[in-house]
Amino acid sequence: MNLKENWQKIKKTLESGQASTIYCSIATVNPDGTPHITPVGTVFLREDQTGYFFDHYAEALGQNIDQNPNVCIMAVNAGKLYWLRSLFKGRFVSPPGVRLYGQVGPMRKASAEEISKIESRVKPTKWLKGARMLWTDFTHVRDIEFSGYKPITYPMMMDGMWNERAR
């Protein structure tokens, strides 16, 4: 499946999934070879098939990436209304989720634009004590270079939803 050709759909699907659950799952590999999954609510995709996330609290995530930069990021739309509407129609109204495969770079200082995006995302909850504890002082990001994707599929309810030409 062609990453570039389907990027807008991928981007919209990841953003819908992240909005419905407040996070994406990032899978890495521990030093002993076992899988590790981290929920990260600060994933952003750019227009050029790359992205970034704020590396803030997830200690094991950063350590795993430093020894093996390969990741899989997954987002699934978990909205109850989305699922109810899709089940009622017998067809998904939009793709239910996506997995993105790529490599993560080293931690770097976030740009003013990147900090502005995360501040916009968390602004509605800024007045809450827990939000202030969790979602402040974002300063560093890691870039992600994507190499492929795989949709979350339920074939009976989504025929033709993804362009299936080979890369």
User: What average pLDDT does the segment 39-64 reach?
Assistant: 92
Q: How far is CA 79 from CA 3, 23, 28, 76, in A?
A: 25, 13, 26, 9
User: What average pLDDT does the segment 12-22 reach?
Assistant: 94
Task: Give the domains, in start order, of the chain with CATH numbers.
Answer: 7-109+140-153 (2.30.110.10)
Kindly state the tokens that stand for 110. 């976030």
Higher pLDDT, 19 or 155: 19
User: What average pLDDT does the segment 100-122 reach?
Assistant: 91
Kindly state the tokens that stand for 63. 């350590």
pLDDT at position 163, please? 58
User: What average pLDDT does the segment 26-44 reach?
Assistant: 95
Strands 43-45 and 140-151, by their bridges, are unpaired
pLDDT at position 133, please? 67
When mean pLDDT is compared across 84-98, 120-134, 135-149, the lowest value belongs to 120-134
Q: Burial, 122: exposed, middle or buried (Cβ in 10 Å; 0-12, 13-18, 19+)? A: middle
pLDDT at position 162, please? 75
pLDDT at position 131, please? 67
pLDDT at position 78, please? 95
pLDDT at position 93, please? 85
User: What average pLDDT does the segment 152-159 reach?
Assistant: 84
User: What average pLDDT does the segment 123-134 reach?
Assistant: 74
Percent residues over pLDDT 70 in the chain: 94
Work out the mean pLDDT of the chain and round it to a whole number. Answer: 89
User: What average pLDDT does the segment 29-38 reach?
Assistant: 95
